[in-house]
Chains A and B, each alone.
Chain A
Amino acid sequence: MTEFAQSLQALRPQLLRFARAQLRNEAWAEDAVSETVLAALAKPQAFAGQSQLKTWLIGILKHKLIDQIRRNSREVSVTTGEDDEDIDGQLFDSSGAWRDNPAEWGDPEAACGRREFFEVLEVCVDKLPGVQGRVFMMREWLELDSGEICKELGITATNLWVLLHRARLRLQMCLQERWFGTGAVRAVAR
């Protein structure tokens, strides 16, 4: 194996983690990563002059992930019971008022300055139900706009907004439970 091929293989586990987080399907993730490695092997000269191999590979992977989503678009957008759960009903009473008032999270810099905060955020994203997780990752990691996501998944804009709305609410609930509502925040301030 060439040195280049060896460095590609070494990065494979990391690429697979990204692919799983986006696709939430083992077989599709394996395919996307294999296609990424093959594409990289086919034109190593494209890497010449780039600063970081990993950054370059992630760029290729993102395209392969979108290919996988397109190829499997029908299955990708089949919601589970968890996706369909009425999160708003848990947070608001029948008059539309908060059951429990949202908490103050304090200075954004205090949270964003902490590596552990992002570890918790990552866990919360991983815990999102299947379709919510996929669309959230498409929006916030692949950085696609709403129109592109709807086109790739063949869903309506209204559908997408409901999914993203629930995903964002779930993330905030998860962060409240696992970060802002715990002693972690105060422990740092001390």
Chain B
Amino acid sequence: MKFLQRNCRQVTELVLAGEDRRLGLVERWAVRAHLKVCGACPAFNRQVALMRQALPRWRAYRESQE
């Protein structure tokens, strides 16, 4: 399963890329495999998820500003 191995830097890149393009199948598997065994990246992944929820509300917030 060596072809799925990625380090934290590479996984971070893929996780962020997922916000702007559709990841390929191997990329998604690699991310999933890494997140299962990594003690650090799952927290980063949750940060990205929080941003994804926050940004639409940020748009609404700024357009409602006086």
Contact = CB atoms under 8 A, between A and B. Distances in A.
Interface of A: 14, 18, 54-55, 58, 88, 91-92, 95-98, 101-105, 108, 111-112, 115, 117-118, 121-122, 125, 139-141, 146, 157, 160-161, 164-165, 168-169, 171-172
A15 to B, nearest CB: 11
A168 B19 contact: yes
B59 A141 contact: yes
A101 B47 contact: no
Contact of B61 (A14, A103, A115, A139): A115
B57 A118 contact: yes
B21 A161 contact: yes
A162 to B, nearest CB: 10
A117 B7 CA distance: 31
Chain B contact residues: over half helix, strand or loop, or mixed? Answer: helix
A95 B47 CA distance: 23
B61 A97 contact: no
B2 interface: no
A64 B62 CA distance: 18
Given A58-B63, A102-B47, A141-B59, A97 B17 contact: no
B8 A161 contact: no
A121 B7 contact: no
B50 interface: yes
